[in-house]
Amino acid sequence: MLADLEELVLCESYSADHAAVARSAEAVGALGARLLGAGPEKIVTGGVTHLRWTFGTPQVLLLGHHDTVWPMGSLQDHPWSVTGGIARGPGVLDMKAGLVQMLHALASLPSPDGVCVLINGDEEVGSATSRELIEESAQGCAAAFVLEAAADEEGALKTARKGTSRYEVVVRGRAAHAGQEPHKGVNAAVEAAHQVLSLAALGASMAAVDGTPSVLGRATVTPTLLSAGSARNTVPALARVSVDVRAPTRAAQDRVDDLVRGLTARTPGARLEVLGGRERPPMEPECSAELFALAARLAAELGQEPLRGTAVGGASDGNYTAAVGCPTLDGLGAVGAGAHADTEYVEIARLVPRARLLARLIAHTTG
């Protein structure tokens, strides 16, 4: 498993570089062909390469991604290394170790019959070209097991995830000379400042829409990127505010959508346009409850430490499988820390136990 992990990490797969993602797909496909005895279906959509294996009539979907957030050349500053039981390298935790565990777990079973394996190439940038493929593959399955990394260094599974929405508030004003006749302009930057404060207040006021507490907490509305103006001596005619929204329930996600689209301009003459909207729907706790109970029982039978589940604010492709009604359990991948950061690492000793747990889950669900 460690040798296979090294091979995948050394094949860089930055999401924005479609040629690199295609090379990574070749490496992952070759690994799967060697372990499973069959090559994948290669699906290229929008220039992005995805892989799918289908064995019989699928009852279980194994879901992962082979793209990473690491720009090409990151291996120079973050080389593959194995020291003291720790493996490091770009994407080692998120989520190339999860792919290795997935494929080895399936290969350890007498037959892969009843399993669909889907490994997409654009998860880190929102799965725009693979969402339909994910939803299609999940339809009719009894379970989706997502090989994203564990939620923490203790190996907790991810039993709920917030949904995500992305917006851009475009503010249109009117340019004018900032020194001679600023009064003739409509300052888009000032209006953008009003909108940033409105959005921050909206986020601070959000609570569970239906009045019941959520394990994921309240929805969050966070202004992130802000830009305005074209020159130092010109009243800005255009400004943009990017907004990140995380919602625990569909009701909360819908409510925030209404509120963001209902923003109104405060500066006379300014106009607002709201772009974007809902992306990944929430993965609510009910979707994972039975599968987590099964995983906890199987882990105990294997003599592993007691499993813990937790809700997280980040989203994954498990949000999509849950939304189409497929019971979903996430975070079954590698144990480590530092995803997307310089400190990214995987605990090597946990690779085999996690693969064994996944194999038992597959066998139980397809049996």
Task: Report CA torsion sign: 62, 44, 339, 160.
Answer: negative
- The domain total for the chain is 2
In this structure, are 150 and 24 located in the same domain?
yes
pLDDT for 210 equals 46
Q: Do 127 and 86 sit in the same domain of this protein?
A: yes
Mean of pLDDT values over 154-177: 97
- What is the per-residue pLDDT across 29-61, written as a single tens digit (0 to 9) for each? 999 999 999 999 999 999 999 999 999 999 999
Question: What residues does 156 pair with on adjacent strands?
Answer: none
pLDDT band (50, 70, 90) for residue 216: low
Q: What is the residue range of 256's domain? A: 163-278
- Mean per-residue pLDDT, 321-326: 97
In contact, 80 and 89? CB cutoff 8 Å: yes
CB atoms within 10 A of CB 362: 23
Alpha carbon separation from 125 to 10, 24, 118, 120, 279 (Å, rounded) = 21, 16, 17, 11, 11
Domain end: 234, 250, 278, which one? 278
Q: Of 278, 310, 333, which marks where a domain is finished?
A: 278
Distances, alpha carbon 179 to alpha carbons 66, 175, 191, 214, in Å? 53, 12, 19, 52
Q: Are residues 22 and 150 in the same domain?
A: yes
pTM: 0.90
Same domain, 147 and 15: yes
Mean pLDDT of 85-100: 98
Residues 206 and 105 in one domain: no
Backbone angles phi, psi at 252, to 5 degrees: -65, -40
